[in-house]
Amino acid sequence: MQQYLIACDLDGSLLNNKSELTEKSINVLNYLYRLGHIVVISTGRPYGGAIEIYKKLGIPTPMINDNGATIENPLDQKFPKQRTLIPNHVLHDIFRHAKPFLKSAFFSINKTVYAYNYEPKLEEYFAGLAFSSEIIEGDFTDLDVEPSGLIFLVDTMQKESLENYIKENHGDTISFRLWGAGHKHAIYEIYLKHVSKSSALSYLLDYYNIERSNLITFGDGINDIEMIRDAGIGVMMKNGTWELKGVSKDQTEFTNDDEGIAKYLIKFFELEERFK
């Protein structure tokens, strides 16, 4: 039997529009795991925003969090945890530059949120946290903790200022994603340049000795581009963003709200008789 590594993004992919994991999705993924395949969650959410979903899925494999900056197995303490962090001095420098036009910013470590001008909706959308056990507000220059990534909500008129500053001063180590820009504000994710869901999956391919041609990835957003592009079988969700069309090798027939991943895997592995 060929062994596959199957990586699933959460929001907009494995989860439905109510952020729920359906019984069918759980059953299909667990059946594939019992057949000997490696099934992993690969999400932009921090550990605290994904651990309950991980527990509900019930598959004792590693979980990729923070868009690839964190890899750990909550059910296996012997698994060599990987965590890649933005150095403190880089955090402080970017924050100092952005502060005059920064409406809000945050990053999270487990269920602790570090925020500047805290915006709960921003946290819930990007971190998947309906609540935080602790919120620490203040200037990031006062912090002595290192994040795996940052979310900045900035004045749209200052987009170029932020982008150019990062490119000119930290371009060798730091990248950014523009998640959207309106008339007033733009949302940026700031992260380490060499870190992505794809880099995390490369680590797991080596760990499990699986060929890249046997890597199946599912995603819907711009933070999934690398893992969709680099997989042997990179699958964009039917509801996925247009940026994925140029890098995906396939597309689900159904959206995340209609169990698109489960139905794709049933067809791919010819499990129709089992999951009628």
The values of phi and psi at residue 25, to 5°, are -60, -45
Q: Is the model's pLDDT at 49 over the cut of 60? A: yes
> CATH top-level class for 5-83+195-268?
alpha beta
pLDDT for position 121: 78
Alpha carbons 192 and 164: distance in angstroms, whole number: 16
pLDDT for position 129: 62
pLDDT in tens, 234-272: 999 999 999 999 999 999 999 999 999 999 999 999 999
The values of phi and psi at residue 122, to 5°, are -65, -45
- For the chain, the structural domain boundaries read 5-83+195-268, 88-192
pLDDT for position 131: 54
Confidence of residue 134 (pLDDT cuts 50, 70, 90): confident
pLDDT for position 36: 97
N-to-C CA span, the chain: 23
| CATH of span 88-192 | 3.30.1240.10
How many other C-beta atoms can be found within 10 angstroms of the C-beta atom of residue 101? 17
Average pLDDT value over all residues in the chain: 94
Mean pLDDT of 47-71: 95
pLDDT for position 123: 74
pLDDT in tens, 137-174: 999 999 999 999 999 999 999 999 999 999 999 999 99
